Amino acid sequence: MPAARVRRRGRTTLLIATAAVLGTVAGTCVGYLVQADREPTELPSLSQPVVAQAKGEGPEPLSAVQDRKVKTDGDLRKLLIERPKGARDGVYATGDQGGWMSLAEYASGFTRPTSAFHHLIGDEFRRAAVTSWRVGSTRSVEIRLVQYRQEEDTAAGSRTESQRSWTEENSTTRSWPIPGTGDGMAYVHTEPARNEGRLPVYSAEAHAWRGDVVMEVWVSDTKPIPKETIMDLAERQMGRL
């Protein structure tokens, strides 16, 4: 019995596929021809409608009292609180020539001055205004306003946070927030520093910042320092910033 013939479908399939491709190409060409015969469609305008300018005078510029940047960019010494009547000059006295603390002087007050000096440069230290006075025979007060450029980092806030962390590690220290300063704190050290041949010295301090200026208040005495003393100084000084 002869073998059944198998229908060859390859040629037919190829013809159908070729016709489909030619049909697609022809349709595309016709589409281009139709589009070429049409009038060009006008594109919408890229310009925006003119907005009418508001009339009337603009707002008045802030006064020096309202704009703290005007105050802190001026003579920083003028923002220091005045010493009380009857007080005597301390190590630093404000005046035409005094009232400034150099970077080297400021760094010398740290435990490791050389390291502090380099850190202060990195923190973009700008300047420091300082005043100090003595009350009675034993109490000393020193207040500093330390300003940073803060072009790369908010160094003022970082410095205050660092000082607070170091101070609060001391278990013999009492602390209170300074009203109106966010994270400003005042500290009273209940244990005095003792050096052989000298009277024991009690101390209190306060730290806060506003903008690019850090406030530091330091009080020392041979007698315990009340909370009210350090809080009053800190609140009055921050009120000037």
pLDDT for position 169: 63
pLDDT for position 134: 94
pLDDT for position 3: 42
Cα–Cα distance between 108 and 90 in angstroms, integer? 18
Cα–Cα distance between 162 and 167 in angstroms, integer? 9
Cβ-based burial of 73 (10 A; exposed 0-12, middle 13-18, buried ≥19): exposed
Please give the sequence-ordered ranges of beta strands (E in DSSP) within the chain, or none if there are none.
88-89, 125-135, 139-148, 173-177, 185-193, 201-210, 213-221
Is pLDDT of 93 > 60? yes
Mean pLDDT of 175-186: 94
Residue 159 — very low, low, confident or very high, per pLDDT cuts 50/70/90? low
Is pLDDT of 198 > 60? yes
The whole model's pTM is what?
Answer: 0.67
Mean pLDDT of 132-139: 93
More confident residue, 23 or 229: 229
- pLDDT per residue as tens digits for the range 28-75: 444 544 455 666 666 666 666 666 666 666 566 555 555 556 667 889
The answer to whether 122 and 158 have CB atoms below 8 angstroms apart is no
Cα–Cα distance between 74 and 80 in angstroms, integer? 12
Cα–Cα distance between 65 and 163 in angstroms, integer? 30
Task: Calculate the alpha carbon distances from 135 to 49, 55, 85, 221, 228 in Å.
Answer: 71, 59, 9, 10, 16
The answer to which of 11-15, 32-36, 90-94 has the lowest mean pLDDT is 11-15
